[in-house]
Structure 1
């Protein structure tokens, strides 16, 4: 278990309404190793027994909907990919699918509804721009207000994950950070999601997470229903070097 530093937790709580996950989300959410963007890294996870909703379907050689540039950004060693596909460049709605690479190719789990940032997507995310960053990023660390459900990812449990206030549509953010998975955009992998280190500088934002959906757009994160967040936590395995591939449909197809 990671023990988050009190200073980091206080700084994050104070800044949630300006960057990252402070905006909240409710239906779904979700980057990792960097070829599509300079700010990336990787990780992944999978439990002993797959959850029913993650049952595998027909394998494909490549992940559907990803174009040559996006595919080139997916690390060759990655065996799990959480694909977040936005409905449009300016839309706060998206879908999330967990893919697993096998000898037969990439196999898809179920498709889950999700939310992303209020103003959609950007390939040059900045702090407070209310866009989710497009790219391929590692999934290295997790945490939450609730206790570790049994994930193989390092998990930081504590009150620093309390989500205050309301979202863009007046919905309560309570419980949004019950479970979170840090997206390795402008952060130091191997640290708590609450860690404040920003390798690209504070101006490029940070605190981009997969977290529990609260029923509305986020500030930059990807959010899915709590049951699906728990399934992701149980499925992702660092040994499989999991990544998140995220962006609107047109951008991912490039």
Structure 2
């Protein structure tokens, strides 16, 4: 006896059954997903293409891995590539003295620091402070008596003065020979100008007392270029800031950080 057609069992094609089973096993999505395993830890399924991105990249849902952005090092403002290249790689302190113009005796001083050569870059630590430089301004080739301050990057390795120093890590020569008398170019008294000084290593032996008169380039190229206490007017070649600023500078400078002075007019330093 045959079964009536309305009661016949439903037979699905083998291909359709296989497709249903495949969907049940794989779920709705075709890419990876985030989940939590039994230990409570978050897990990541590999991307659909099965190729994870390299370290330091993030996966893009519509394309290949995108490199993660890295912060750019912070450079000292106003310095051009030539000046930046002259700063030693090991220097982590830079006292930047920027003149208003090549023939100006007024400047601005800022102490910059950085954590290391591979750190995020330079940041201002002290300043800006008003400063004086030589009467006639700046020069890239200093000569004795030209009344100009030398342009360049020079190390700072020693200090001294007539008065007991503040808490400083620099070698400090306490001596009455730092006494000075007379008047400056504007008739201002010079007394006390050398109460605190930091020697600028232009035409001198680094690490020696500021009073050392050795001139490796010759006497005609000048010397005795210091950072010292401001007397209210231009200098013969030095850089000067007020007494309280000198104390701050002496306290901050650390020979372990290989400090340098970057000095010159704004146009020269911007090269």
Alignment match, 1:114:
131
Q: How does 1:80-119 map to 2 (within 5 A)?
A: 80-102=93-115, 103-108=119-124, 109-119=126-136
Q: How does 1:67-216 map to 2 (within 5 A)?
A: 67-102=80-115, 103-108=119-124, 109-216=126-233
In the TM superposition, what whole-angstrom CA distance separates every residue of 1:81-131 from its partner, at most 9, and x where no partner exists?
000000000000001000001222101132000000000000000001000
Secondary structure of the structure 1 residue equivalent to 2:157: strand
Secondary structure of the structure 2 residue equivalent to 1:173: coil
Structure 1's unaligned 5+ residue stretches are 1-58
Greater C-alpha Rg: 2
Please give the TM-score of this superposition, normalised by the length of structure 2.
0.71
Structure 1, 100-109 or 90-99: larger mean CA deviation: 100-109
Moved over 2 A (4+): none
Q: Distance in 2 between matches of 1:82 and 1:110?
A: 10
Q: Distance in 1 between matches of 2:182 and 2:139?
A: 25
2:75 corresponds to 1:62: yes
* 86 and 60 in structure 1: CA distance in 2 versus 1, 3 angstrom threshold: farther
RCO (CA 8 Å, sep 6+): is it higher in 1 or 2?
1
Q: How many residue pairs get matched?
A: 196
Q: Distance in 1 between matches of 2:238 and 2:247?
A: 17
Q: Distance in 1 between matches of 2:73 and 2:138?
A: 27
Please give the TM-score of this superposition, normalised by the length of structure 1.
0.76
Secondary structure of the structure 2 residue equivalent to 1:172: coil
Structure 2's unaligned 5+ residue stretches are 1-71
2:251 corresponds to 1:234: yes
